[in-house]
Structure 1
């Protein structure tokens, strides 16, 4: 059957089928005209990947289940290897729950201790702007410093086509709980930065991650935009958003851990990358966003930062770009 028929039968998108094929999870045949010819087994495998994904397993983690189905079993977990994959994921989740619970308990103790101490009177300014209400950056948790010697990415031209393009009408649910449609974020200036992944705190980073140019530094970049948010707003930036292929629960854990004051958007299918031909790369069987930052005016891309390096000081670079733009306008109008 054709891709559209197979996707509809499996309850996935055509792009998802293509991604499963890129990961080596599906191997459809070819018809005489060269088009992919999906079999009933391909549909069953795609259904299995989708069902396991709803349970939190990544496509690469579904391999034992797919092998079990290919071996002729009625269900994908009728094999010992599948049970072992279940157990491995459960242990990773248990570790994450333990870490989050311990962090929650520490926060409760600190909150209660602060409440018992009471607070000195503070003069309130009714005209205080929202930017002044942002938390002091010196009191916020910080990501670990980046290791030295990380390889710098080179400009491969993967973003040269983006200035002047219009964002597609794609909607994502942000970590703030709201549905955000990219082409309707703001009529003014705003910033969208894309990053590869922060991943599961209970799992190791992909093998060779530090050797991939520009891959390491997502938490550090996120902290940088948090700490520069007031400066960006002072330059007329309405909003800052972050987007990656991370699952929403991973992003929420990052927001909670680092006290990020802006929404993060989960795009596991890399739909924005496909719509705008954004640069991506492969690591550990996953297709990921390359790090880049878009400056937008309304839905139109005004400027692109690509490649981004080093990520821990990138937000300072973006804030300085806005200041330079302001100075250039003042000089021009003088």
Structure 2
């Protein structure tokens, strides 16, 4: 006959369930989402003695890290807009001051209305009350607009931070995050069916040298599960061009589900259909430079981006958002 003893402990946002059984069992440790299961079973070498196994289950309702705004995004927001907090502080101070003035004007108006001998004060009191109410409305509007802009900027920076944590395969031995390309390359992400990636590959062929001179590297992300046709020249005459083409298209996404989730979030926020092929181009500092539906504008990239080497190195980096 088998029996078990269990206990349930509730602590803050996490509960723990402990089950004890007198019979030896073998358990493995595994984790799924925010739930962890673990077990213990030990045997001595000289005696087949079993310790009573214990199963501990824990679960937490805390949000996953991907849904939280990272501290890095908040710091970058403060760096990009250093005086926003000061403005918001003064807006609150002006709202409080005008609100206090409006309260005083309201009490004066009530007193003037109740006393006919003070009827001459009513026009001035109404004027002061109107000014105070107008000031409260104005600074409240400015505060909420500033706060809305702040939240939008932090959300955008957080999405870019999540993008920087996604992994790319450079070759058979190296897998690195997108953030490793900051200051080195301008990534262009092509996300769509295999036919879309193949056509983007063909359209970029005449501009291979110019794109590489500007530090552009392409990340093809196929959404329909098929393999795109990327043909590289292997003949002796065009071998060098084929090598350059391979370098331009050498990157491959790793952990496809994470890439798919991030791209689908961007489409949803932009109001784009999940089936539409899209492209995203990144600056040298990793921020999103541009995006759109359809094929990447290779000609525009060549025309607008400065070379990463030569006499223009560093001079036009500001136009690309490099800080």
Q: Report the TM range for the smaller structure's normalisation.
A: 0.3 to 0.5
TM-score with structure 2 length normalisation?
A: 0.35
With CA pairs under 8 Å and 6+ residues apart, which has the higher RCO, 1 or 2? 1
Structure label with greater radius of gyration: 2
TM-score, normalised by the number of residues in structure 1: 0.34
